[in-house]
Structure formats: structure tokens, C-alpha cells
Structure 1
Amino acid sequence: MTDLPGTAELTYGSYLELDALLRLQRPVSEPEHPDELHFIVTHQAMELWFKVMIHELYRVLPCLADRQWARAVTRMRRVNEIFAAQTAQMQTLNTLEPSAFLQFRHALGTASGFQSVQFRVLEVLVGLREPGYLTQLASTSSGVLPFDVTAALAVPSLAEVAVGVPRAAGADDWQAVYAEPDRHAALVLLGEELLDHDRMWLRWRHEHLCLVERIIGRLVRGTGGGSSGYLEGRAAQRVFPFLWDLRRQLTLATEKNTAKEPRR
């Protein structure tokens, strides 16, 4: 920080290091395209929110391990609100006309959102750890996973921890929790926040897919070599499939019990 406490009066600008922050937008198109600033700021803002989400998820995990359900709910709610805000910021790029983007796209070289290490950390932290995906990810980083991704893999994922939450709280499984919501109120609230987090992933991937197709078209290779075909393949991924499946289980159990009731 430029002005440290004790050496100068702390101001809004010095606390946020605005002089440095506002110098970080450096358009590369020549001549400079007026829409490139929006493109840069949007992605920088998204990365800043990724940073906060990672920070908060690392705080959620010990809450679950220590059975601090209320704190876990609060922190997951914050993550979800941030995810919603971040998605909304990404959607502002829908105002970027395809012809405008094409005028400075060539200047980006191979720079691509696929190279976002923080996004990959988020995926790994929540539980998207398929061996094939990790191998593919390593292939884009000279055969070695980025350090921060490796660090995230060293801790249990949110999905792995969430599976065992009911038993840690004295219930058999998530179906038992939802079957008696009043008895397990804190866990139901937690389950709903986790499900909302999964919903936010689905929404983010859908919005990202639509954004890509809106600007460069379907199945066109992006600057990093990927295409909307790859995005389509990952759009329906679920972080907590067991929380979605228990809805089916509850419905089937209810229908079975209803069928057993004698008709009057």
C-alpha cells in the first residue's frame, strides 16, 4: 500500500490503492478500440470476485469439519451472492457487438478465459476433479497443474465434505435430513445453499456459453483454441448430484407410500 498507517493519513484512494488499480487497464489493440476497456475491466472484476469466492470457500470447509452449520450457511450464502454478482458482470459483455469484438480480437493472441487459474481452483475446490479433466488441464500448462490448483486438490472438496455432513450431524444421509426438515433445520438450510451454489454453476456456464455464441458464433474456435462445443459438454455438470437426486428419492418414496394407503 502506498500510504501506510502511521506515515500518512489513510484515505479511500490509498486504502484501495486506486492509483495502481486504475492503471492496470492497458488495451493492446492498435489503434485502441473503445470497447476494449469494457472487455478488460469486466474480466478483471470477474477475477477479483473469483479471489473472494476462493477465500470464502476455504473458510466454509473448516466450518463443515467443525460442525458449525450456521456459519457454513452464512458463508455459502455470501459465496452464492458473489457468484450471482459476478455472473451479472459477465453478462454486461452481451452489449459487445460481434463486429466490435472482431476489430480487436486478433490483438489478444492466444489469451483466453480458459487460462484462468482461479476459475480452475474454484472448480477443484467445489469438487470437479475428474481425472480426465485434470489431465486436460495439465496439458494446457506444460503438463503440470498450476500450483494453486494443486494446493486446492490437497484438501477435501466441498462435495466430498458435504456428502458426510448428515452423518456428522446424527442423520443417516441427506434424504433423512430432508424427510424431517424441522428436526434438521440447520442442515436443510445448508443443503439449500449448496444446491443454490450448484444452480449458480449451471447458470454461469449457460450464460457463458450463450455469450460466446452471441459474440463469435457456435463451434468457432476461441483465442485459446476452445469452442462452444467444449462449453456445451460441460454445461450440465452438477457439483452436488446427490442433492438433486434426493428430490427424486423423496418423490418416489412419497408416491410409494401414497399407493399403499387404502382408498375410501
Structure 2
Amino acid sequence: MYDSTSALAPPATDDLDPLTRPFPGATPYDAYVRASVLNTLQQPFTEAPDEMGFLVTTQVMELWFTLIVHEWRTAKTAFAKDELHAAMDALVRSRRALTALNAAWAPLAALTPAQFNGFRAAFGRASGFQSAMYRHMEFLLGDKSAGMLRLHEGDAAVHEGLGETYRDTSLYDEVLRLLHRRGLPVPEHVRDRDVTATYTSDPGVVETWRQVYTGPQHDPLLALGELLTDIAELVTRWRMDHVMVVRRAMGTKTGSAGSTGLAWLERRAARPVFPELWEVRGGV
């Protein structure tokens, strides 16, 4: 007898669904994102339950560093070409990335000393200050250091790439040169400074920003100043969150690579980013 319901029943499998048909090799998603590669990079050295979170958090931060460096280099190139709109677009993207970077501290923010000690010995001589990509970030902000460059001499490719960033202008150098081309009084000694030296505040640049901040409130250069201030604040917040994570997890113990640990991080966190943008606010 013919069963009319069988003709209406769905197939026993979803083989007809194009979304579930197998691919001859890796899925296009994996070929593009390389997730299968990323997911092999977490190799804890201990059985401590918190080490996996530490590894993933650190690796995620390295990826955010990479994106931020990419955006700052894009912005720097655009500033050099007087392409203010394109430069600010890149800075806006970097601001979003910095916000995500800062949020990445969450898995580590409440580690107790006992939890941290469960895997800390696995570091050996490793320390976050050895991150080459973070050093690219610092150099792009104008915080240059020959010593931090020398640290990477043992890895020729890393040392060469970081050396290029060290010897090149910083993001802020290109901002100040653009301001000068827009008719603002950026001092010559600042424009022609040794770009391998750490940038330090200059009263002439404070005056430059004072003219921007006391000018028309819809001036795109004022919007640039505020965008740079957002970035400086987010970088500082990341550094301070780092201080708090270390303070909570290990107090004043010596750092894993022989640094003074908390005291060293506190000194780094106190270094101003784009200093004149903070100083100008007291004189407007």
C-alpha cells in the first residue's frame, strides 16, 4: 500500500545541504584563518589549571600587538603623505584594537599568588618585556631604546625588522611634521631630532597643541589631538592593568628575567605617551 507520508518526510541525512558537504581538504575557513595552526600553539609545561589561560591570553595579546602595529604603520605612512583622513581612519581602527587588547587581561586579573606559582617556574628566563612586537609598538610611540633593540640580536630576522622601526620616524614624529606643514609652529629642532632617541616633551610642541585646542572646535586637527589622546590613555591603561595583574599575582618578587618586576613595570607605566597632549590641557 502506498504511504503518502513517506513522500513528505525529510531525508534521513542532510547530505543535500550544500553547507554540510565535505571539502576535499581543509575547509576554506581553516585555509584562511589557519585556526588549526593557532590551536596547536598552546603547549603548557605544567599541569597547573591556570597555565592554559596564561598562554592563550599572552598569545592573543601578541595578535593584538600585531594588528595595532599594522594600523600605526598605516597611519604613519598616511601622515607622511598628508592623507589626514586615511591616517585617522587607521588610528580609529587601532583604538578599537587597543580596547580589545586591554580587555584581554580579564583571564589573568584575579590570579592568586598560589595559582601563579603553579606554573611560573615554567617561564625560565622568559618575560613579557622580550616581546618584539610590543617593542615595535613602543618604538612607534617614540619610546626608543638601543638596549631593547640589542636584546634581540640573537634572532637576525627579528632584530633587523625591529631595527628598521628603531631607526625610522615614530608615529608622533609624523604627526608633528604634518602639523608643521599645516602652518603650526612645530620647532625645527623637534622636526629634525635624532629619531633613535626617546621622544621627550618640548614646550614648543605644547604651544603648537595649544593653538590647535584654542582654535575652531570643529578643526580636524583638534579631532586628531583627541584621537591621539584616546590612544595614549588606552596604552597607559594597558600598562597600569599589567601592573595590577603582577601586583596581585606576585607582589614585589623579582621578575622572571631578572628585572625588578613590579617596580620596573611601574616605572614603565609612568612614561607619558604623546606628553604635550596632556600638558596642554593645563594651559587652555
Structure 2 length-normalised TM? 0.77
Match of 1:176 in 2: 211
In the alignment, structure 1 segments of 5+ residues that lack a partner are 1-6, 251-264
> 2:242 is matched with which residue: 208, 225, 228?
208
1:115 to 126, 130, 140: 130
Q: Which SS does the other structure have where 1:23 is aligned? A: coil
Determine the C-alpha separation between the residues in 2 that align with 1:237 and 1:222.
Answer: 19
- Which of residues 10, 20, 23 in structure 1 aligns to 2:37? 20
Partner of 1:159: 172
Contact kept? 1:166, 1:174, Cα under 8 Å = no
1:238 aligns to 2:272 (yes or no): yes
Specify the alignment match of 1:257 in structure 2.
Answer: none
Distance 1:159 1:224 in 2: 31
Q: Deviation above 3 Å: which 4+ runs of structure 1?
A: 7-10, 139-142
**Secondary structure at the residue paired with 2:244?**
helix
- Counterpart residue type for residue 233 of structure 1: R
CA distance in 2, matches of 1:37, 1:210: 20
Match of residue 113, structure 2, among 87, 93, 98: 98
- Counterpart contact for 1:91–1:207, Cα < 8 Å: no
74 and 16 in structure 1: CA distance in 2 versus 1, 3 angstrom threshold: same
Question: Secondary structure at 1:95's aligned position in 2?
Answer: coil
Residue identity over aligned pairs, in percent, reads 33
Alignment of 1:139-150 (within 5 A): 141=153, 146-150=159-163
1:135 aligns with 2:152: no
Shift of residue 210, structure 1, vs aligned partner: 0.8
Residue in structure 2 matched with residue 88 of structure 1 by the alignment: 103
RMSD of equivalent CA atoms: 2.3
Structure 1 contact 126–239 (Cα < 8 Å) conserved: yes
Q: Looking at CA atoms only, which structure, 1 or 2, has the larger radius of gyration?
A: 2
Cα distance between partner residues in 1 of 2:37 and 2:250: 33
TM-score normalised by structure 1 residue count:
0.82
1:14 Cα offset (Å): 2.5
Count of equivalent residues: 238
Say which is worse superposed, 164-173 or 57-66, in terms of deviation: 164-173
Whole-angstrom CA distance in 1 between matches of 2:229 and 2:174: 14
